[in-house]
A and B are shown apart, each in its own frame.
Chain A
Amino acid sequence: MFEKLLAKKYIFQQKRHSILTICSIASALALMTALFMLFSTLLSCMHDVIYDNAPYHYKIINLTKDKAESLLNLPEFDCNMIIEKDYTCSVELLLKNYTEYDYLADLDDYWKNYEINPEKQIEKNRILITLDMKDVDARAEFAQIFAVFYIFVIFLALLLRLVIDTAFEISSKERERQFGVLQSIGATSQQIVKIITFEGLMLSAIGVPVGTLIGTGIGYIAFQAILSSGIAEACLTDGQESLLHYHVNIILLIIAMITGLAWVLFSAYGTGMRVIRMTPVQAISNRSNQIIKVRKFSLTGLLFGWKGRLASGNNHRQPKRFIITVLSLMLSMVLFASTSIITEKIGLAMDKTLEEVYGYVDLDIMCSTLSSDGADGYFNIVRQVEESPYFTNVCAGINLVGKKEDTLVMIHYVNENQYLQDFKNNPPVSYQELNQSGKYLYASGIPLENDVYSIDKSISYGGDKSGFQDTDITYPIFQKTGIPENFKEYYHNSEKYVWLYAPVELYQNSAKDLYELSRYSGDFTVMLTDTKDHDKAVAFLRDFNLEYIMDVYETHHQEETILSAVRIGLNFLNIMFVLIAMINMINIISTGIVNRKSEIASLQSLGMEETQLYSIMILECFEYALTAGGFSVILTEFLLFLTGRFLKLFEVYDGDGSVLVSMDGMISYTEPLPRLLIAIILAFVIAFLSSLIPLRIMQKTPITERIRSVD
C-alpha cells in the first residue's frame, strides 16, 4: 500500500514535525491519564478507608451469639461475626453480587424471616455500597459522581484535542503542496486522507503509550505531593495511613488510551479532509479556497489602526480556535489567581472562627481543671505546667460570677500572662502595681460613684460558696479603669454588668479565705515551646486528669494540612491547565505564522518593515492575552463573590441570632488584580515568543521563496 509507505517516509523525513506531533500526543495523553489515575486513586483510597472503619454493607446488631451464628450463612452475603464491647454480637454483611433491592428499605419481609427488626437492628453503610456499586441507588449515585468528573474530563479532552489537532495541522500545512502534487498525478482524495490517518496511527503507536506512562508517573508524583502535606496523619486514625496508596485503574487507563487514540485519528482525519478540500492547483500554488470571515468591528483595530485591524483579522480567521485558546488561557489565569486567594481566605476564616470561639489565636492548648483539691489543686497544676519545659506563655485565670440585684458581677483573678493578654500588653495599671495595691481593677460596667463596690448575692459559678452567700462583700476598687480586648463583644446584650480584674495572688492571699471555696475549677491556656513535642506535652497534661483539654494546635494543624492538600491539588490542576493553555497557544500562534508565510512575504514585498511586522505580532499576542485577561477578571470576581457566600458558612451567631464572628471584609475584590496582571503579562510574553521564534526563522528565507511557498 503506497499510503503506508508514504506515511512512513513522511514520518522519517520530517523528523522535527514527527517529534512535535509525538510530543503533543504524549503530553495530551499524559495529562488525561494523570487525571484519570488521581480520580481512581481518590475513589480507591476512600473505599479502603471506609472499609477499614466499617467493613460491611449492612450490619446486624444486638444479637445473641447463637442468633449471630445462625445468620452466618445468608446466601446473598459474605458474613462475619464480631463481638462488641458490650458483649453483644453483630454480623457484618458484604453483598456478594449486584442487587436491585435496598435491603434496609425494601426487604422488611426478608429480615422478618430471620426474626430481625430492620429499623432497630440493621445499620447500612451507604458509602461503601455506592463505591462498590452494589445496588440500583449506588449505581445512580456513582454515575452522578462519574458524570461530574466526566464533564470536566470532556472539557479537558476537547482542549487536549486541539493540542493534537494543531500539531497535525502544522505538519500537514508544510506538505500541502506535496499533497497537491500527489493529487495532480492521480492520487484520490481518500488516498490523501489515508496517508495522513496512517501517519497519525503510526505516531500514536509511540505517543499514546509514552503519554500514558508519563501520565501514570505524573499522577503518582501528584499523589505523593498531596500525601506529603500530612493529610493522612491529620485526618485518619493511626494505621490508616498505609491504606492510602496510588491506584492504577486498568479500565480507566484503557479509556484514556482509547480516547487519546480516537482524538489522534479524528485530528488526522480532520486534517486530511481539510487538505483535500483544496484543489490540486490551489494546493500547489498555495492558494486556499477557504473563505475567511472577518469581523466588521474590532477594538484592537479601533485602537491601533491598520495594524490592529490586521492583527485582529488574523486572530479571528479561525474563531473556534481563538475561543478555545482564550478559554483555556482564561481558566489557567483564573486558577492561578484564585487558588492562592481562596485557600488563603478559607485559612483566615478558620483562624478567625477559632479566635472568636476560643478567645485567642495565640494559644495551642486550652485546659480546664477538675480539681477536688479546691483552688490549691488548680494552682498546683498551673505551677507544674509553668515549670514544665513543654509550655510557654501559660495564661491562667479564675472566673467568679456573682449577682447584685439586677447586675451581673464578673470577677476575673488572672496571672500576669493572662492579664497582659487580655489588655493586649497595654493594661491601665501594671500587674505589679495592681498586686501591691490589693485592689480590684474596675474594667467596665455600670458607672461607679465611689472607689468601692460590693455585691451581696451568692456567686453562681465556681463551686460551693456557702460562707459567701449572705455576706455583703465590699471590693476596694482601683481608681483607674480599663476595658479588656473584645470585652464588649462578649457582653453586648442589655444586661447590666460589672467586670472586675484582680491578680491571681489576691485570690490566693485573701479571696480564697473570703469565699471559703471547698471545691474549685479554673482554666488555663498554654503555647507549645516546641511543636515537635506536641504529643509529649498533651500526654503531660493528660496526667493531671483535667476536666477537658482543647487541643487548638491539633485543630490548627489539621486545618493547615487540609488546606495544604487542597492547595497542592489545586496547583496540580492549575499546572495542567497552564500547560494545556500554553501548548495550545504556542501551537496556534506558531501555526498561524507558518500558515501565513506567503502572506507575510507579500506584505514585506509591499514595503512592510520588520518592526511593523513585529508590531502586528505584538498586537495579535496582546489581543490573546488581553481578551483572556478580561474574561479572567470577570470570572475571578464572580468566584470571589461565591467564595464570600461560602465564607458566610463560617460565621458564628450567638443565641439571639446576632453575628459574633463576621466574615465581612474578608473578600477584597481588588486583591486578585495584581496576580491576574502578572498572568496576562506572562501569557503575552509566551505568546510573543511563540510568534517571534518562527518569524525569525522565516525571515532567513528570502521573500521571493516565501511568496512562492517553496517547501
Chain B
Amino acid sequence: MEFLRIENLTKIYGTGENQVKALDHISFTVPKGQMTAVIGASGSGKSTLLHILGAVDTPDSGKVYLDDQDVFAQNQKNLAVFRRRQVGLIYQFYNLIPVLSAEENMTLPMLMDGRKPDPAQVDEMLSLMGLTERRKHLPSQLSGGQQQRVSIGRALFTSPAVLLADEPTGNLDSKNSMEIMALLRKSNQERHQTMLIITHDENIALQCDRILTLSDGKIIHDVMTGQGGSSCLKNY
C-alpha cells in the first residue's frame, strides 16, 4: 500500500541560460515501512528531492502526498508542524544545536510541539542510541558518531511517519557507519517507519529494500533489493 506518492515533481534553480533542472518531472511511490536508498552522481537532484520530501524546500510543480495528504497544500505554519510531527531529518553534518545538550537536542522537536517529553521515553531513546552516559554533553563534547546518533535520536524521537537521511554515514568511519545503519534498520523494522536514505556508499544502499538512482533530476533506475522483497529492476 503506497504511503508516499510523488507526482511530476519538478524543481528548477536559476533562470534563462543559467537554468538548472534539479528535479525533472519525477514520479514514484513508496509503501509504508519501506527503506529506500537514493543514489546518484553529484548534482543529480538527490538532496533537492530529500529536502522537498521533508518540506524544507518547495517544488516548482508537482505534488507530494503523504498518506494521501497533499503536503504543499498546507500553509507555512502547518508545514512547520508537518516537519516536526511527520518527518525526521538526518543530515550528513548532524546540524545539532551547539548550545543544547545531547538530551535537549534529541527532545527539541517535541518541545517545539509544546509537548513534554516522557522521561522513560527519553531514557529509552538514549539507551537505544548508546548515549545514556553522554546525555548532558554538548555536541562539541561528542565524537562524530555520537553526534550522528544524537541526530538520529532527534529524528526518531517524535516517531515520525517518514525518516529522511542525507548521507547519514558520509562523515563517519566504517565502524560507525555500520552501527548507524544497524540503528536505522532496527528502527525501520520495529517502528515500521518509511525511510529514504541518500548515500554514495553502495554497501549502505544494498542494505535498503529499494534503490532509486537519480541522474540529471530524473529517476533512471528503480531496483528492489533482496532485503525486503523480491528483486526487480524498473527502467525509466
Contacts and interface: CB of A to CB of B under 8 A. Distances in A.
B113 A602 contact: no
Given A306-B111, A703-B57, A704-B51, A607 B84 contact: yes
Q: Which among A317, A598, A702, A704 has the highest number of chain B CB atoms within 10 Å?
A: A704
Contacts of B97: 310, 599, 602-603
A612 interface: yes
B51 A609 contact: no
A279 interface: no
Given A605-B56, A606-B109, A314 B99 contact: yes
B230 to A, nearest CB: 35
Interface in A496-534: none
Contacts of A309: 99-100, 104
Interface string A593-619: 000001101111111111110000000
B77 A609 contact: yes
Interface stretch (A249-257, A284-292, A346-354): A284-292
Interface string A288-305: 001110100000000001
B85 A607 contact: yes
A477 interface: no
Interface in B74-89: 76-77, 80-85, 87, 89
A644 interface: no
16 contacts: A292-B98, A292-B140, A294-B99, A306-B112, A309-B100, A310-B97, A317-B98, A317-B99, A605-B54, A606-B84, A607-B80, A607-B87, A607-B109, A704-B48, A704-B56, A704-B57
A397 interface: no
Interface in A667-711: 702-704, 707
Contacts of A606: 83-84, 89, 108-109, 112, 154
A629 interface: no
Interface string B60-104: 000000000000000011001111110101010101011110001
A599 B93 CA distance: 11
A432 B56 CA distance: 93
Given A607-B80, A612-B112, A310 B91 contact: no
Interface in A24-79: none
Contacts of B58: 702
Contacts of B84: 606-608
Interface residues of B, number: 33
Contacts of B113: 607
B100 A313 contact: yes
Interface of A: 285, 287, 290-292, 294, 305-306, 309-310, 313-314, 316-317, 598-599, 601-612, 702-704, 707
Given A294-B99, A602-B97, A610-B76, 12 more contacts: A285-B93, A290-B140, A291-B140, A306-B108, A317-B98, A603-B108, A605-B83, A606-B109, A607-B81, A607-B84, A609-B77, A610-B80
B138 interface: yes
A292 B138 contact: yes
Contacts of A602: 91, 95, 97
Contact of B99 (A313, A608, A702): A313
Nearest to A603: B97
A358 to B, nearest CB: 65
Contacts of A703: 51, 56-57
Nearest to B88: A606
Contacts of A314: 99
Interface of B: 47-48, 51, 54, 56-58, 76-77, 80-85, 87, 89, 91, 93, 95, 97-100, 104, 108-109, 111-113, 138, 140, 154
Contacts of B89: 605-606
A610 B54 CA distance: 17
A434 B111 CA distance: 86
Contact of B112 (A598, A607, A702, A704): A607
A401 to B, nearest CB: 81
A292 B141 CA distance: 9
A707 B100 contact: no
Contacts of A603: 97, 108
A553 to B, nearest CB: 64
Nearest to A287: B93
Given A292-B140, A702-B57, A608 B80 contact: yes
Given A292-B98, A306-B104, A703-B56, A607 B83 contact: yes
A231 to B, nearest CB: 53
Closest 10 A/B residue pairs (Cβ)? A607-B84, A313-B99, A607-B83, A602-B95, A306-B111, A609-B80, A605-B56, A703-B56, A704-B51, A704-B57
A607 B80 CA distance: 4
Contacts of A609: 76-77, 80-81, 112
Contacts of A611: 77
Nearest to B51: A704
A292 B111 contact: no
Nearest to B83: A607
Contacts of B80: 604, 607-610
Nearest to B155: A606
A704 B58 CA distance: 10
Nearest to A294: B99
Contacts of B91: 602, 707
A611 B76 CA distance: 11
Given A606-B112, A607-B113, A704-B51, A598 B81 contact: no
A702 B89 CA distance: 16
B217 to A, nearest CB: 15
Contacts of A610: 76-77, 80
Nearest to A306: B111
Contacts of A707: 56, 91, 95
A602 B85 CA distance: 15
Contacts of B109: 606-607
Contacts of A316: 99
Contacts of B140: 290-292
Contacts of B48: 704
A603 B85 CA distance: 14
A313 B100 CA distance: 8
A292 B99 contact: yes
Contacts of A607: 80-85, 87, 109, 112-113
